[in-house]
Structure 1
Amino acid sequence: MENLVHESSNGDGNTLYLIDAMALAYRAHYIFISRPLINSKGQNTSASYGFTNSLLKLINDQEIDHIAVVFDAVGAGGTFREDIYEDYKAHRDPPPEELLENLPFIKEIVQAMDIPVVEMEGVEADDVIGTLARNAEEDGAEVVIVSPDKDFKQLLSERVRIYKPARGDQDFEIITDDDFREEYGLDPTQFVDMLALWGDSSDNVPGVPNIGEKTSMKYLKKYHDVEGCIDNADEIGGKRGQNLVEFADDARMSKELVRIKTDLDVALDWHTLLAAQPKMEKLKVLFSELEFESLLDRFDVEVEEADEVEEGENLEFDFGPYEEVKTIDADAVDYSFLKNRHELEQFVETLTEQERYAFDTETTSTDPHYASLVGMSFAWEDGVAVYVPTPMPDGTSTDDVLDLIGPILERETTKIAHNMKYDMLVMRRHGVELGGPVLDTMVGHYLFAPEENHNLNDVARSVLNYKMVPITELIGEGASQVSMRDVEVKEAARYACEDADITLQVAEKLEEKLQEVDLNEVADDIEYPLVRVLADMEFVGIRVDTDVLDRISERLAGELDELEGRIYELAGEEFNINSPQQLGEILFEKLDMPVISKTSTGNPSTKESVLQELSTDHEIPGLVLDWRKTYKLKSTYLDSLGELVHPETGRIHTSFNQTRTATGRLSSSDPNLQNIPVRTAVGREIREAFVPQDDWQLLAADYAQIELRILASMSGDEAMQETFRTGGDIHTDAAARVYGIDPADVTRDQRRKAKEVNYGIPYGVSPWGLAQRLRVPVGEAQDLITQYQKSYPGVSTLLNQLVEKARQNGYAETMLGRRRYIPEIDSSNSNRRSWAERVAVNMPIQGTQADMIKIAMNRVHERLASEALEARMLLQVHDELVFEMPPAEEAALRTLVEEEMRDALPLDGVPVVVDIDAGDNWLDAH
């Protein structure tokens, strides 16, 4: 067994440093997200402190003469990009309020340091930085852009480089144009085309479906730019070639969205952007106000030294980090790897004695359904870990390694891992079932801090204040990335051992933290056992009839052609229907339709609600809505699901995400099966394509109106409970009470409105919001809400209590104690406070439903095994479970599933009802 013990660029007066203020502020805020800096006034000062440290670190390390800090214009409207594409950044969450409240302080600190502050309305800070960079470059200057934003790579040149702040500490990674060419095999100017094809989900830039990072690189090496790819779509062929033709306008629009402007009218000469003399007294006042005591301790020394500084000299700063970040210490750890079969046999004996240990796999892919095992690491004592490479250096094969160690892994010993579902799937594909209780540190951290990031690097930083070695140091990134299989065993071992060791240490801390907040039972009884259930579901996957998908897709393509033809005929010309700008020109300029609302930049809006209102007076808006809905279904599901079928299993293996939602609900991805619309005819048709294995059937079980039943139970409202107890229709009953009529006299429209109120009230819907949903005047919506509150007084009381409880505790919780922290509940911003109050009401209800179905999944899974049924659980979609079964087991499975779903979490005063059906496809079984 082998032990594994184990430059700055200076300014020359001709270099301009451009600081991306918002990106650095974001980074600073989230570095301290798990232990925010709160001063005695109750202010969260994390972003100010972290930003200041980053800036001072940069100043200390570089001899800076020319510098500017570039901000987005605060309070300004949108930018020209929203005019090009109304949904640009539409899915991005607004910045945390605590971060926004720090921006004025950050700006004051920068100004007190006598560093120029630059901002410009109507464009993003990226565009200002791009223009300043190009202007300085053309004047012969060197430019350094300080930002973690990948989009700046398009500006790289011989004279422009990027300093990317490293994650978790105060270092900077230098990126040059040569680095870019080595990583991507392209010229930096082609990065715009790469992003245009690839798209950007964070900014909601559409790109071209099925073309990702590596595919876009390959095409651009051959065809140079977006237009070249489109022109050669026939040569590319296949689905991607079709998409390049079908989504050509999206690609061109995406290119305009991601291109950083370099030609703004910025009336600034880079020579004037000078780092001058800091205003020391002003800085001291600011640091005192913000209570940056660790800065002030050193600041006093700097003030004394400042008296002796000659006019015009730059001051040196040494403020240090807020808290020293720990990294791997080769002298303090005992990391080793096995070299031969004899060492493996000895290790197996040692591992057999352990009743609890951390386990991690190293593989060739992040997709467990394709990954090959490269090695395994183990740790059961802090600072000590062992790596088992597969195959071993002496030639012992992977199969032989697993024959020896597999039986030990299958024993009922506690396994600790970070994202253990991945390890379970990988090992199962290699013939080994990981046995015993699960302790998943990713899931545990999610329970403790649901709003934070949960990858191991971030969790280690949050829980242990420890910075791990990034995987990119071993395998690189982008075009130059290699497989873990290609990494030298000694280097892979050091990385893998750290993973296992740190996972073990995180687990020990998390157990204490979960105990402190009374979440250990939710972890041990619900979340940790669910990891194994989800792994089994993902391993099995679900079969898809691609012929059905192709049939629907072909029909929709014809419908889109017909819709486009009719729209063009009515408009009198062809245009890009997916472009809000071009659509707006047709509707509001050519056809002179009334402007209902405007975008943030003052242009007429073409959003859905506007088109709905306009559709009553003209045919085009309604046709555009139909086109959008059809286009989205075709591109999102029909044209992509078939490509996700695994070549070996012939099934789709969606990934169930246990740590994504703040309420505790599961989500799914690759593909997202929870967003298939079930209220539209085409959405239901898509479900028809999901089928069982030959000669079997699907069975679907769905909780009936479960969130309203939970609401009735939690509120104790007698009227609502009575409706559920007697088997009445809750929406008809609500309509009868709200309108003051007999249930038999309730009309379909009245029931529809009552249904919207039923589902809207528990989530804090406003009169305006309800009016939008019902398409009625706000006054009528207000009357409906008022009558509902009178009809169900227990519900109204509960909702007020939930908000008040969240305000007192700072969090909302489910019936079983799952928490969601809501710091905005006391916000001075009314919009954010209202949002927090809605969360305070929503989370206990929706989170309790999530707990209920997870308990049911665990129990159903256990009984399927104990009763030796062949039936298998395949999917979970919100309130529904989908199974695959031989027909002979239908009666037994119905009974089992109904019992466990019904009894998972009994509700006081309200029966839990489960609807179950079976069929030859998902649609028939629903």
Structure 2
Amino acid sequence: MTSQDCDKKLFLLDAYALIFRAYYAFIKNPRINSQGINTSAIFGFTNTLFDLIKKENPSHLAVVFDVGETFRHREYKEYKANRQETPEAIRIAVPYIHQILEALKIPCMSKEGYEADDVIGTLAKKAEREGYTTYMMTSDKDYAQLVSENIFVFKPASRGNDIEIWDIEAVKDKFQVETPSQVIDLLGMMGDNVDNIPGIPGVGEKTAKQFIKEYGSIENLFAHSSELKGKMREKVEANKELGLLSKKLATIETNVPIEFNYESLTVDKPNVDQVIKIFEDLEFRNMIVNFKKTYPNIFESENGPEKDLSNSVSVTGQRSLFDTLDQDIEMKESSNWKTIENTDHLYQLTETPMAVKLLVEKLSKQNIVCFDTETTSTDSMIAELVGISFSYEKAKGYYVPFNTKDKEKTQELIEILRPFFENENIAKVGQNLKYDYKVLRRYQVEVKGILFDTMIAHYLINPDARHNMDILAETELNYKPISIESLIGKKGKNQKLFSSVPLDEQKEYAVEDSDITLQLKNKLDPQLAKDNLKKLFTEIEMPLMKVLVDMEWCGINLDIHALQDMSKELVEDLSRLEKEIYSLAGEVFNINSPKQLGDIIFDKLKLGNKPKKTKTGQYATGEEVLLKLAHTHKIIDLLLEYRQLQKLKSTYVDALPDEVNPITKRVHTTFAQTVAATGRLASNNPNLQNIPIRTPRGQEIRKAFISKDHNHKIISADYSQIELRIIAAMSKDSAMINSFNNGEDFHKATASKVFHIPMDQVTKEQRSHAKTINFGIIYGVSAFGLSEQTGLSRSESKNLIDAYYAAYPELKKYISEQIETARKNGFVETLLGRRRYLPDIHSKNNVVRSHAERNAVNAPIQGTAADVIKIAMIKIHELLHEKNYQTKLLLQVHDELVFDAPDEEIKEVSALIKNTMENSVRMEVPLIVDVGVGTNWLEAH
């Protein structure tokens, strides 16, 4: 705290600022109890409150809420108009928070017609006159205007940073003002997107700070506007009223008609039974323990209420997402973490060849060892080793550093370590092992033995969460690791800087990683078994990791000259389109300027009814807007084509040549196993799974992906309608199964059933409609959605869906059962046990709940398809090695595999690929694979 501390210390909490902050802290990993209530906001807010009471020991405390519209809404109807509707979870949370505060005997304050900041501002000023030191707890920068010698902004900790306390000097430094009151003028000039305060158009933060420096206030700026030049003078003088209104909206009212009764704001003894009852109802087991730590004097003994109450909570459902955060008691803002500074540990530096030999002897006697590489780059294809850490026992480990300038010495140490890495009897543990595997391969070392990747393990256990090591250490072990920024500064993205860090600091950082990762392995391994995910982990995900290493290492050949020619053609096409667009518009304008384009489309050409506008007041001209106007005027169709070609050129045609590795002369994408919650792989740097295929111009890009040389060909193997075949098998719908088993054209067969006509009378249009609904059913298509896609009326679409379910009744039953399973268990599973948790399945918001219900049906289908192709990849990879084929698996693009094969192997390998893919998983419905061969990817596909 500061020198201003005194006995009379008042904390005023901005309720909604802290509630929203708590909610979004868990947005990717929400806490859901067994009743289906999203308790993230309640949990986070209460922890923040307890943390504050424990650490700051306030003598006086109040939580202030917003209620209804304020005088600002009357002044400016658009005030806060850009805010999205309050999330349902927060609306549910607020009454619970009120109950908790009431039970804790912490006063809640508000005043109709005023915002929380007005009430807090008024109370702070009144308290100051009474000799109190006031801390306004909020993440809202607007409060800076209230700061004085005895009033401070108390910003909660976030993202690993400690709390911030803004005094007068801090405000002056952060906002570049002479006094805190000038923050009001600053906001009046630059506006505030959060509250939709307009400010002066054209004046951003940088310009506003310059104006404050020169003129001191917004009124003085207007008084001296003649000193400004050009367009800035025009904007300032034209928007005087708007600027003054903005200042008024940004000013926190400090004369709210509310009393400051210091006696009512004292921190009192809570109603223990009431608090505990609320926590039990919410299933906040650890919160009861935290409650005792916050109010230690009200509990009689260590073995009293805490022990009994923390074990008294009844959890009737199966494992749900709230279990995964039980250890996150203090959230990410806590100072109660275990760290390297408060945890006993023994980390040793192992520098000399003799020391490394002794280390290898120790490692060779272990069954399980965790290791982690430190490198000069996050790109494993060019990364050089800075060091390797090892740990096989909690709180103990070793660090072997390398001199990046002495390659001979580095290779000497690597050779000493080689027997450990290539020992198949030692299981190796790591976090994101694929990266380390590839780095070591650059030094001709192959990592052998059973592998355990903690990142992949956690992904299977909780696919929607984040899986980086720092997050896992915090949530699973209540441990906060050393940050790389603390070692090499805020600009630590340059990994090369790590090699300049003193060896002792390198050692602490590096060995801590291995130590923590080993502890994570011991925590996650039993959870895999508990959730029946062990087989998926050991037989699919970990073997697949090695397959991906080989694919990424191999890369794919790119015809740069073909792309350069394509780029020239696109330049010509774009130039032609520009001229046509200008001709139709009747003037030359910047096609890429949303404002200028909006003026042309909506003001000049008068297209569309009631066009939408953005927060800045200009017309919305995104792709969605243009698509709705398609075919209403030729200019719209040309604009859509222009954007499509422009994206092709910038995103693929011009960008792909830059992705060619200068050493291998090939493109090496990275496949991520832990991104898509459904189990699908993702491709990055570059993303080769998004290469366009639906348009002729987009397809041309695939032509640039070519075989190794003239003696090789590209083989493409693609599952045919795999998701439809899987849903037929999983639903056990006899009509669907029979259709596939009989080799029928499934879309035509569906059309025959829903339109009640013989198959030989089905028209092309009817087959197209049937195809749309076949794939749409997997994604929960509605009558409205089907109508949008097919052009049929809403009633025709509804009749079509009804006829579809009548034709496939067992499918309809399966869909209902899947939704019910999700409601009961909180998750759904693929055929092989991959889980997808659906915390919103009980939401009272129909839109949110419907989305979860669609995922309940879709996730097992997509996930099973992902599992099927992964198994095929593993088996094909094994067979190619066993039979000593030179064919290489290069890419996986959802349901397709791409290979590079010598001409003499094509016939045999094509048959091997087709047979293996079709028999990777046995189901009641046959899997069919189409195989193509060509000199390039497009030709093969």
What's the TM-score, normalizing by structure 2? 0.75
Query: Equivalent residue of 1:374, what SS?
Result: strand
Matched, 1:358 2:342: no
Whether contact under 8 Å (1:596, 1:610) holds in the other structure is: no
1:890-909 superposed matches below 5 A:
890-908=906-924
- Greater shift, 617-626 or 732-741, is seen at 617-626
Whether contact under 8 Å (2:36, 2:842) holds in the other structure is: no
**Cα deviations by residue, 1:699-729 (Å, 9 ceiling, x for unpaired):** 1111111111111111222222222222221
The aligned counterpart of 1:266 is 250
* Distance apart, 1:901 and its partner CA: 0.8
Counterparts in 2 of 1:353 and 1:173: CA distance versus 1, 3 Å: farther
* Distance apart, 1:416 and its partner CA: 0.8
The aligned counterpart of 1:337 is 349
In 2: Cα distance, 1:548 partner to 1:72 partner: 63
* Distance apart, 1:174 and its partner CA: 8.1
* Distance apart, 1:113 and its partner CA: 6.0
The aligned counterpart of 2:437 is 424
In 2: Cα distance, 1:442 partner to 1:349 partner: 28
Whether contact under 8 Å (2:399, 2:511) holds in the other structure is: yes
AA partner of residue 717 (structure 1):
D
Residue 645 (structure 2) aligned to one of 630, 634, 639: 630
In 2: Cα distance, 1:57 partner to 1:752 partner: 60
- Greater shift, 263-272 or 496-505, is seen at 263-272
**Cα deviations by residue, 1:269-303 (Å, 9 ceiling, x for unpaired):** 47989997647689867886456645654777899
Residue 102 (structure 1) aligned to one of 93, 101, 111: 93
Counterparts in 2 of 1:538 and 1:586: CA distance versus 1, 3 Å: same
Q: Structure 1, unaligned stretches of length 5 or more?
A: 1-6, 76-82, 130-141, 154-158, 184-219, 225-260, 305-318
The aligned counterpart of 1:921 is 936
Counterparts in 2 of 1:421 and 1:262: CA distance versus 1, 3 Å: farther
The aligned counterpart of 2:705 is 690
Residue 542 (structure 1) aligned to one of 556, 559, 562: 556
* Distance apart, 1:392 and its partner CA: 10
Counterparts in 2 of 1:630 and 1:321: CA distance versus 1, 3 Å: same
Matched, 1:454 2:467: yes
Query: Equivalent residue of 1:387, what SS?
Result: strand
Whether contact under 8 Å (2:30, 2:38) holds in the other structure is: no
Whether contact under 8 Å (2:377, 2:384) holds in the other structure is: yes
In 1: Cα distance, 2:382 partner to 2:3 partner: 43
Residue 49 (structure 1) aligned to one of 29, 39, 43: 43
1:24-35 superposed matches below 5 A:
25-26=20-21, 30=25
Counterparts in 2 of 1:481 and 1:62: CA distance versus 1, 3 Å: farther
The aligned counterpart of 1:765 is 781
Whether contact under 8 Å (2:10, 2:135) holds in the other structure is: yes
The aligned counterpart of 2:665 is 650
* Distance apart, 1:492 and its partner CA: 0.9
Counterparts in 2 of 1:31 and 1:570: CA distance versus 1, 3 Å: closer
In 1: Cα distance, 2:419 partner to 2:682 partner: 33
In 1: Cα distance, 2:261 partner to 2:668 partner: 56
In 2: Cα distance, 1:149 partner to 1:687 partner: 49
Whether contact under 8 Å (1:544, 1:690) holds in the other structure is: yes
Residue 670 (structure 1) aligned to one of 685, 707, 731: 685
* Distance apart, 1:773 and its partner CA: 1.5
Counterparts in 2 of 1:265 and 1:539: CA distance versus 1, 3 Å: same
Matched, 1:594 2:620: no
AA partner of residue 45 (structure 1):
T
In 1: Cα distance, 2:141 partner to 2:703 partner: 41
**Cα deviations by residue, 1:408-433 (Å, 9 ceiling, x for unpaired):** 21221321111000001111112211
In 2: Cα distance, 1:119 partner to 1:400 partner: 75
1:851-862 superposed matches below 5 A:
851-862=867-878
What's the TM-score, normalizing by structure 1? 0.76
The aligned counterpart of 1:156 is none
Matched, 1:803 2:819: yes
The aligned counterpart of 1:388 is 400
* Distance apart, 1:453 and its partner CA: 0.5
In 2: Cα distance, 1:386 partner to 1:396 partner: 22
* Distance apart, 1:452 and its partner CA: 0.8
Counterparts in 2 of 1:296 and 1:485: CA distance versus 1, 3 Å: closer
* Distance apart, 1:596 and its partner CA: 6.3
Whether contact under 8 Å (2:142, 2:250) holds in the other structure is: no
Whether contact under 8 Å (2:558, 2:704) holds in the other structure is: yes
1:801-840 superposed matches below 5 A:
801-840=817-856
**Cα deviations by residue, 1:587-606 (Å, 9 ceiling, x for unpaired):** 33322233167468798754
The aligned counterpart of 1:466 is 479
In 2: Cα distance, 1:338 partner to 1:99 partner: 52
The aligned counterpart of 1:376 is 388
Counterparts in 2 of 1:477 and 1:299: CA distance versus 1, 3 Å: closer
* Distance apart, 1:105 and its partner CA: 5.4
- Greater shift, 504-513 or 262-271, is seen at 262-271
* Distance apart, 1:579 and its partner CA: 4.8
* Distance apart, 1:486 and its partner CA: 0.9
Counterparts in 2 of 1:263 and 1:560: CA distance versus 1, 3 Å: farther
Query: Equivalent residue of 1:854, what SS?
Result: helix
In 2: Cα distance, 1:728 partner to 1:901 partner: 21
The aligned counterpart of 1:841 is 857
Residue 879 (structure 2) aligned to one of 848, 856, 863: 863
The aligned counterpart of 2:532 is 518
AA partner of residue 893 (structure 2):
V
Query: Equivalent residue of 2:787, what SS?
Result: helix
Query: Identity over aligned residues, as a percent?
Result: 39
In 2: Cα distance, 1:179 partner to 1:702 partner: 61
**Cα deviations by residue, 1:14-46 (Å, 9 ceiling, x for unpaired):** 99999796687455664698794749x764433
AA partner of residue 863 (structure 2):
G
In 2: Cα distance, 1:116 partner to 1:560 partner: 61
In 2: Cα distance, 1:10 partner to 1:56 partner: 23
AA partner of residue 157 (structure 2):
P
Query: Equivalent residue of 1:662, what SS?
Result: coil
Whether contact under 8 Å (1:147, 1:165) holds in the other structure is: no
* Distance apart, 1:391 and its partner CA: 3.4
* Distance apart, 1:630 and its partner CA: 2.1
- Greater shift, 565-574 or 859-868, is seen at 565-574
Matched, 1:490 2:504: yes
In 1: Cα distance, 2:44 partner to 2:716 partner: 51
The aligned counterpart of 2:541 is 527
Query: Equivalent residue of 1:397, what SS?
Result: helix
* Distance apart, 1:265 and its partner CA: 2.3
In 2: Cα distance, 1:118 partner to 1:645 partner: 63
* Distance apart, 1:498 and its partner CA: 1.2
Matched, 1:348 2:360: yes
Counterparts in 2 of 1:632 and 1:63: CA distance versus 1, 3 Å: farther
The aligned counterpart of 2:567 is 553
* Distance apart, 1:626 and its partner CA: 1.8
Indicate the RMSD between aligned Cα atoms, in angstroms.
4.9
The aligned counterpart of 2:238 is none
In 2: Cα distance, 1:178 partner to 1:399 partner: 54
- Greater shift, 774-783 or 322-331, is seen at 322-331
Q: Structure 2, unaligned stretches of length 5 or more?
A: 71-77, 121-132, 145-150, 175-205, 211-244, 281-286, 300-327
Query: Equivalent residue of 1:779, what SS?
Result: helix
- Greater shift, 271-280 or 727-736, is seen at 271-280
Residue 488 (structure 2) aligned to one of 475, 479, 500: 475
The aligned counterpart of 2:325 is none
1:280-319 superposed matches below 5 A:
289=278, 293-294=288-289, 297=292
In 2: Cα distance, 1:393 partner to 1:634 partner: 40
In 1: Cα distance, 2:4 partner to 2:106 partner: 20
In 2: Cα distance, 1:283 partner to 1:590 partner: 66
* Distance apart, 1:669 and its partner CA: 1.1
Query: Equivalent residue of 1:265, what SS?
Result: helix
